[in-house]
DNA sequence: CGGCATCCTCTTTGATACTG
DNA sequence: CAGTATCAAAGAGGATGCCG
């Protein structure tokens, strides 16, 4: 394990601006889209194919939001039936590292989380609360 | 063509399980609650005071979800008017690093994002799309 | 092909009130 | 104090249809 990073001093301040930005950038479809665009630029319908569960409306909204936040770039070709390509921006690329760290965390700890879920569900299922007494303060 | 030939950086796989876990742990109130509990254990109404915008219902739901996922621990004191304390678990602490990395990212890049937003809004306001021709493919 | 507009539903959230 | 129950409001998201 590498614990070279700061662990105990962190303020972990979650301001409204931070929250809003995370909401816009980590929402349901954004991560999938960013994942695709990190690999290569894609056109609208390529993205739809790559992410079958997304509807045109949601994809469109996601792309516009990401574009507005400077994460992706919308490139319109001058062909006839219009061809639009989306590409990740340099700013968008900077997001990759922290997001990957987060994803790595989920990969590492998902088993522990699932164990906790099972334990919790069994506890709730069995009857009352199995809690130990521990006087606070 | 290259399929999933990810190069140097990590895979960035966003599976359904990852997505679900992130949704449970990064949602609207969870980060605020975790932030509080990282500092010190707190009781229910302490958390309500610390996070004025949250309702009892939402806080309750958030805490139960975090508890189910093994991120926080619910400790019931044996006093008369019941005192319940919430404390972060070791598993919960492991989340702090990647979350802080993400928060640091927002802090670093929020100015760039806001600039992008302004530029986008002005572009949209001015009229149609200011698009440059760039033939894809 | 790449969208946006409309309608409609389903989920989430908040306000309020009540309980152990 | 620490919640739960209920209702109302809001919003995300899907389905469909049209347009450049």
What's residue B2's pLDDT?
39
Let me know if residue A4 belongs to a domain: no
The predicted pLDDT at position B126 comes to 62
Verify that A64 and A108 share a domain, yes or no.
no
- Residue A84 and residue A25 in one domain: yes
Determine, yes or no, domain membership for A110.
yes
The band of A1, judged by pLDDT with boundaries at 50, 70 and 90, is very low
Under an 8 A CB cutoff, do A28 and B19 touch?
Answer: yes
Q: Would you say residue B5 lies in a domain? A: no
For residues B69 and B45, membership in a common domain is answered with yes
For B77-112, the pLDDT digits (tens) are 988 789 999 999 999 999 999 999 999 999 999 999
Q: Both B79 and B25 in a single domain?
A: yes
Using the Cβ of B130 and the Cβ atoms of chain A, whether some distance falls under 8 Å is answered with no
Residues A25 and A60 in one domain: yes
Considering its fold, how many domains does chain B have in total?
2
pLDDT of A13 above 80: no
The answer to whether residues A66 and A84 belong to one domain is yes
Q: Are residues B83 and B23 in the same domain?
A: yes
Closest residue by Cα to residue A12 from B68, B30, B87, B59: B30
Segments forming the whole domain that contains residue A112: 95-132
Give the pLDDT of residue B1: 42
Residue-averaged pLDDT of chain B: 86
Supply the pLDDT for residue A80: 77
Residue A128 has pLDDT above 70, yes or no: no
Question: pLDDT tens digit string along A63-88?
Answer: 999 999 999 999 999 887 889 999 99
Which of B108, B116, B129 is the best mutation test for A, with the most CBs of A within 10 A? B116
């Amino acid at each position: 394990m590498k614990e070279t990073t700061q662990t105990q001093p962190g303020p972990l301040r979650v301001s409204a601006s931070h929250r809003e930005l995370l909401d816009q950038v980590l929402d349901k479809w954004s991560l999938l889209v960013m994942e695709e665009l990190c690999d290569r630029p894609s056109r609208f319908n390529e993205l739809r194919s790559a992410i079958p569960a997304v509807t045109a409306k949601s994809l469109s909204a996601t792309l516009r939001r990401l574009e507005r936040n400077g994460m992706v770039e919308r490139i319109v070709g001058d062909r006839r039936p219009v061809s639009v390509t989306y590409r990740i921006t340099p700013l968008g690329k900077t997001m990759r590292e922290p997001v990957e760290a987060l994803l790595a965390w989920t990969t590492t700890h998902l088993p522990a989380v699932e164990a906790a879920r099972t334990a919790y569900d069994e506890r709730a299922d069995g009857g009352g609360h199995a809690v130990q007494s521990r006087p606070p303060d």
